[in-house]
């Protein structure tokens, strides 16, 4: 009996060597809409989807590859370029979603990942994501009727993306631990980048010509570093919350303050604020620490500090309206 088992095992091993591991299933090809995806799919041509959604997800852990193609709707209400339908771990990549009610609808879907997409001209949102750990990397969101990229679930991230000419916000996050990194927001009707929650981070961003704020954060323990904010309608960079860390900011020609920080125990360093319509840098904080701050040619104060037990060094202000 033992010899028979050894022979069978030898035959099985030989078969595996010859045949190799099982081949992965190829993505299913999509050439029409609407389409329900229950496995990985790849779009094979541009799709026109009047009055209907493009692709509806029907299973978790799948990838929707647009194959470099454009999926187009006609802005009919309740139509979506891709609807994740509550399924988690969905990746959408490589193409364009335009002219739906919302480009990507990700309601109650965790870990939805957008990669290398253009989402434009949708009636409401480019992306509307309410699940946790949503992410957008190398995404361009422009000309959408509400926000370009909107997240309301915890720990979202936006990396290497661009938002422009959206009616409201470029990037809007209402959740804790959001991260925006190396992202550009220009000419959006409200704020370029706006976050509301605890422990938010903006690490490398350019915000130009937005209707309200360049960057606005409400919540404690925020970190903002490496931001250039120019010619925004309100304040270039504004934070409200305890324990903020703000550094390496250039804020020029904004409609109100260049930089405005309120909340105790904040640290502000390496700031340049020039030519803003109100005050260059204003800090409303007890126990604030300021260093290497320069402000010139602002309409009112260059640097204004209000609070108790604050410390400051290397501050330079000149040519401001109230110097």
- What confidence tens digit (pLDDT) does each residue in 266-300 have? 999 999 999 999 999 999 999 999 999 999 999 99
Say whether pLDDT at 132 is over 80. yes
Mean pLDDT of 157-171: 98
Contacts of 52 (CB under 8 A, 6+ apart): 33, 34, 73, 76, 79
pLDDT at 24: 59
Which structure tokens are listed for 13?
């091993």
CA–CA gap between residue 145 and residue 51 (Å, rounded) = 18
Which string of b and e fits 132-152 if b means at least 16 CB within 10 Å? bbbbbbbbbbbbbbbbbbbbb
- Tallying the residues shown for the chain, one arrives at 323
pLDDT at 171 over 50: yes
Predicted local confidence at residue 8, as pLDDT: 42
Q: What is the pTM of this model?
A: 0.92
- pLDDT tens, 9-65? 444 444 444 444 444 579 999 999 999 999 999 999 999 999 999 999 999 999 999
DSSP code of residue 68: T
Average pLDDT over residues 215-231: 98
Say whether pLDDT at 249 is over 90: yes
pLDDT in tens, 54-103: 999 999 999 999 999 999 999 999 999 999 999 999 999 999 999 999 99
């Amino acid at each position: 009996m033992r010899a028979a088992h050894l022979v069978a095992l030898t035959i099985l091993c030989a078969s595996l060597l010859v045949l190799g591991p099982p081949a992965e299933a190829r993505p299913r090809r999509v050439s029409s809409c609407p389409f329900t995806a229950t496995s990985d799919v790849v779009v094979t041509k541009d799709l026109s989807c009047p009055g209907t959604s493009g692709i509806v997800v029907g299973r978790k852990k799948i990838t929707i590859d647009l194959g470099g193609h454009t999926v187009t709707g006609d802005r009919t209400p309740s139509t979506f370029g891709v609807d994740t339908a509550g399924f988690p771990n969905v990746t959408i990549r490589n193409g364009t979603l335009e002219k739906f009610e919302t480009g990507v609808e990700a309601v109650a879907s965790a870990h939805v990942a957008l990669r290398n997409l253009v989402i434009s001209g949708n009636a409401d949102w480019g992306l509307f994501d309410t699940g946790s750990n949503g992410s957008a990397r190398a995404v361009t969101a422009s000309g959408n009727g509400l926000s370009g990229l909107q997240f309301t679930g915890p720990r979202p991230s936006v990396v290497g993306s661009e938002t422009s000419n959206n009616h409201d916000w470029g990037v809007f996050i209402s959740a804790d631990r959001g991260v925006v990194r190396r992202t550009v927001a220009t000419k959006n009707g409200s704020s370029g980048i706006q976050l509301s929650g605890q422990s938010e981070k903006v690490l490398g961003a350019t915000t130009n010509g937005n209707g309200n704020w360049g960057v606005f954060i409400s919540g404690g323990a925020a970190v903002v570093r490496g931001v250039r904010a120019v010619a925004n309608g309100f304040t270039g960079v504004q934070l409200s919350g305890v324990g903020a860390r703000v550094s390496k900011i250039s804020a020029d020609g904004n409609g109100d303050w260049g930089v405005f920080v309120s909340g105790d125990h904040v640290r502000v360093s390496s700031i340049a604020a020039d030519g803003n319509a109100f005050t260059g840098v204003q800090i409303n904080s007890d126990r604030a620490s300021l260093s290497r701050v320069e402000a010139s040619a602002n309409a009112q104060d260059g640097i204004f500090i209000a609070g108790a037990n604050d410390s400051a060094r290397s501050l330079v202000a000149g040519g401001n309206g109230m110097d």
